C-alpha cells in the first residue's frame, strides 16, 4: 500500500467538463488513479465527501521573484490553492543580466517588494536564478519568464533610444540562452521604463526568438485607458509578424471614461483568434489595480533610470511639466482620493501607508500632484500604490470568457512577516474570490468554468505538461475546497488574511495545507520548458 486516497469528493478535473463523484489516488508525486478507487490500496484515506477535488491552481501572472526569498513556502498562494506560479511578468524580472549592469538590474527590481539572496544579483541567466531559488527549497512550483526590461538593461542600460545592431544581437543572444535553459517565454511591461522605450520593430525581433522555442510572449501592453485599443492592436500585429503566441496581461480598461473598452478589447482578441492568431489573456477579480506610484510620471522623465528620474523631479525647470503630467494620469486613474499608498521605505513616512494621495496632500497643504512628487523624492521612487480605477461591467464581462485565465498579479506573502505592507488583497484572495463571490454568490460563471480558468486553461496557454488536470499520470498538484464556504477574507483595509474553505492542498503529492493550516512542508519544483 502506498500514497493517499481522497475519498468521495466531487472531482472537477480542470477541463471544463461537469464534476462527478469519485476518488483520487495520490501515489508519490503523481495521480495514479481518478474515478473509482478500490479500498485498501493506499496507506491513508482522507474523507472529502461534500468537497471539490480540483487541480492545483496555476497563477499565470505573478511578481513573486523577490518575495519567494522571504516566504519560500509560498504561504499566501498555497493557502489559496495555488500550486504553481508563473513569475517575472510585466517585463520586470531578475534575468537575463550582464555583470557590468547588475546594479542597474537591482535598481529595476526595487519596484518589487521582498529580498534578494545575500550578495544581491549574482547570476546572468535562467539557470543562475533558478539555482538561487532552488537553494531555498520552495514550497510552490515556479515557472519563470525572461523579463524584457531585464533584457534591455543588460544591453542598453536605461537609455531611451533604439538599439544598435550589436545591442540587438546581444539582447537576442541573452533571451535565447534563457529560453534554451527552460524559461517559458518573455514578458513585457510597456508602461515601465526601460521596457517602455522599446518600439515595435525591436519587440518583434525579440518575439521571433520566443517563437523559435514555441514559448509565450506576455505583455503588459503600452496603454490600458485612452490607448487601450491601439495597444491591443500592437500586440496582435507583433504576434503575427513574429509568429509568437501572445498573452495579454491583466486585461482591463483603466479610468471611468474608458469603462466598456475592456469588453471591446476582448472582442478584438476574439477576432484575432478567429483569424488564426494564438492569443489569450489573464485577469484578476478586483476593481482596483496596484503598481508603483512612479507610474504617474511620464516615461520621458524616467529615461536613464531612478537616479535620472529623481534629478528631474527636483529640477525646478521641469517641475510644472511633470506636475501637469502627474495630474493628468492621476485623473485618469480616478483622482487623488482613489490612489492609496501601500508600500513606503522610510520610517518617517510610514504614517502614510494605507492613506490616499488626497490625505497626504491635505496634511501637507499642497496639491495632490505635488504630494506625489514629494513622496517619490523622499522615498527614492520606491513607493507602491493601489488605484481604484476599474469598472464592474468590464470586470464581469471579461471574467465570463473561456480564453481569459485567472491571474493574481500578486506575490507570495505572509501575514506576520509582511504586515507592514498595506498591499492589494489579490496576493491572498484572488482564487477564492472567484469561487466564492463570482461563482457561488453571483452565479456569474459555472464552477467547472472557473476551475478550468484556474488550472487547465493556464496550463494550455503556457503549454505546461502534466499539470492543470485531475487525471492518471498527471502530477499530484491538487486543491480541495468546500464550494459552500470558500471565500476570500482579505480586503483593502485588512489585506493580510488567509481565505476560508480550502482545507487541503497538495504540491507534487505532498500535503502543503492540511485541515486549513500550512504544514510547513514544501515540495515545489522549478519547472523548465522542454523544446
Domain residues of the chain, as ranges?
4-54+467-484+501-520, 58-287+390-462, 292-387
Mean pLDDT of 5-10: 98
Supply the DSSP symbol for 426: H
- pLDDT at residue 1 greater than cutoff 70: no
Look at residue 269 in the predicted model and tell me its pLDDT: 99
Q: Which residues pair with 525 in a beta bridge?
A: none
CB-based contact 211:317 (threshold 8 Å): no
Burial letters 354-382, b for 16+ CB under 10 A, else e: bebbbbbbeeeeeebbbbbbbbbeebebb
Give 109-127 pLDDT, tens digit per residue: 988 889 999 889 999 999 9
Confidence band (pLDDT; 50, 70, 90) for 144?
very high
Look at residue 221 in the predicted model and tell me its pLDDT: 99
The CATH number that domain 58-287+390-462 falls under is 3.20.20.140
Say yes or no: domain 4-54+467-484+501-520 is CATH 2.30.40.10.
yes
Give 230-263 pLDDT, tens digit per residue: 999 999 999 999 999 999 999 999 999 999 999 9
Question: Under 8 Å CB-to-CB from 91, ≥6 apart: which residues?
Answer: 147, 148, 149, 150, 187, 188, 189, 190, 192, 195, 220
- pLDDT at residue 368 greater than cutoff 80: yes
Give 27-80 pLDDT, tens digit per residue: 999 999 999 999 989 889 999 999 999 999 999 999 999 999 999 999 999 999
Mean pLDDT of 191-203: 96
CA distance 56 to 470: 9
Look at residue 378 in the predicted model and tell me its pLDDT: 97
Confidence band (pLDDT; 50, 70, 90) for 493?
confident
Look at residue 278 in the predicted model and tell me its pLDDT: 99
Span between the terminal Cα atoms of the chain, in Å: 36
- pLDDT at residue 395 greater than cutoff 70: yes
Neighbours of 137 (CB within 10 A): 12
- 3-class DSSP state for residue 189? strand
CA distance 206 to 65: 22
Would the pTM count as exceeding 0.85? yes
Look at residue 97 in the predicted model and tell me its pLDDT: 96
CA angle, corner 459, sides to 456 and 462, nearest 5? 150
Amino acid at each position: 500500500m502506498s500514497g493517499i486516497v481522497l475519498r468521495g469528493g466531487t472531482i472537477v478535473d480542470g477541463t471544463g467538463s461537469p464534476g462527478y463523484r469519485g476518488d483520487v489516488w495520490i501515489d508519490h508525486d503523481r495521480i495514479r488513479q481518478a474515478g473509482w478507487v478500490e479500498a485498501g490500496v493506499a496507506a491513508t484515506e482522507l474523507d472529502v465527501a461534500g468537497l471539490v477535488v480540483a487541480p492545483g491552481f496555476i497563477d499565470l501572472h505573478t511578481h513573486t521573484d523577490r518575495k519567494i526569498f522571504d516566504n519560500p513556502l509560498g504561504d499566501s498562494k498555497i493557502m489559496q490553492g495555488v500550486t504553481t506560479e508563473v513569475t517575472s511578468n510585466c517585463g520586470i524580472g531578475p534575468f537575463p543580466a550582464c555583470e557590468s549592469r547588475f546594479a542597474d538590474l537591482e535598481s529595476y527590481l526595487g519596484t518589487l517588494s521582498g529580498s534578494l539572496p545575500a550578495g544581491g544579483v549574482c547570476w546572468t541567466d535562467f539557470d543562475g536564478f533558478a539555482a538561487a531559488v532552488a537553494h531555498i527549497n520552495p514550497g510552490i512550483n515556479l515557472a519563470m519568464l525572461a523579463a524584457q526590461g531585464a533584457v534591455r538593461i543588460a544591453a542598453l542600460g536605461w537609455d531611451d533610444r533604439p538599439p544598435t545592431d550589436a545591442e540587438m544581437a546581444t539582447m537576442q543572444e541573452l533571451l535565447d540562452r534563457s529560453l534554451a535553459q527552460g524559461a517559458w517565454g518573455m514578458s513585457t511591461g510597456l508602461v515601465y521604463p526601460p521596457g517602455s522605450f522599446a518600439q515595435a520593430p525591436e519587440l518583434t525581433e525579440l518575439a521571433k526568438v520566443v517563437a523559435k522555442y514555441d514559448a509565450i510572449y506576455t505583455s503588459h501592453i503600452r496603454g490600458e485607458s485612452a490607448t487601450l485599443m491601439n495597444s491591443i492592436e500592437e500586440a496582435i500585429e507583433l504576434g503575427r509578424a513574429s509568429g509568437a503566441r501572445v498573452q495579454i496581461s491583466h486585461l482591463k480598461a483603466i479610468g471611468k471614461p474608458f469603462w466598456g473598452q475592456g469588453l471591446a478589447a476582448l472582442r478584438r482578441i476574439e477576432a484575432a483568434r478567429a483569424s488564426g492568431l494564438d492569443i489569450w489573456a489573464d485577469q484578476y477579480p478586483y476593481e482596483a489595480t496596484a503598481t508603483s506610484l512612479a507610474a504617474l510620471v511620464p516615461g520621458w522623465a524616467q529615461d536613464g533610470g531612478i537616479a535620472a528620474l529623481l534629478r528631474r523631479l527636483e529640477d525646478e525647470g521641469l517641475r510644472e511639466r511633470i506636475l501637469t503630467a502627474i495630474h493628468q494620469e492621476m485623473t485618469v486613474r480616478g483622482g487623488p482620493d482613489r490612489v492609496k499608498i501601500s508600500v513606503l521605505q522610510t520610517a518617517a513616512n510610514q504614517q502614510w501607508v494605507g492613506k490616499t494621495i488626497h490625505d497626504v496632500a491635505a496634511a501637507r497643504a499642497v496639491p495632490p500632484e505635488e504630494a506625489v512628487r514629494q513622496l517619490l523624492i523622499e522615498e527614492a521612487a520606491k513607493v507602491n500604490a493601489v488605484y481604484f480605477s476599474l469598472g464592474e461591467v468590464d470586470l464581469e464581462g471579461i471574467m465570463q470568457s473561456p480564453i481569459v485565465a485567472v491571474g493574481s498579479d500578486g506575490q507570495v506573502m505572509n501575514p506576520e512577516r509582511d504586515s507592514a505592507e498595506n498591499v492589494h488583497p489579490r496576493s491572498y484572495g484572488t482564487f477564492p474570490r472567484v469561487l466564492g463571490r463570482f461563482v457561488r454568490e453571483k452565479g456569474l460563471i459555472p464552477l467547472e468554468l472557473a476551475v478550468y480558468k484556474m488550472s487547465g486553461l493556464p496550463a494550455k496557454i503556457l503549454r505546461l505538461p502534466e499539470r492543470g488536470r485531475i487525471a492518471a499520470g498527471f502530477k499530484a498538484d491538487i486543491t480541495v475546497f468546500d464550494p459552500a464556504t470558500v471565500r476570500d477574507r482579505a480586503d483593502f483595509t485588512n489585506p493580510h488574511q488567509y481565505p476560508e474553505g480550502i482545507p487541503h492542498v497538495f504540491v507534487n503529492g505532498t500535503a502543503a495545507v492540511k485541515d486549513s493550516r500550512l504544514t510547513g512542508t514544501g515540495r515545489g519544483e522549478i519547472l523548465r520548458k522542454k523544446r
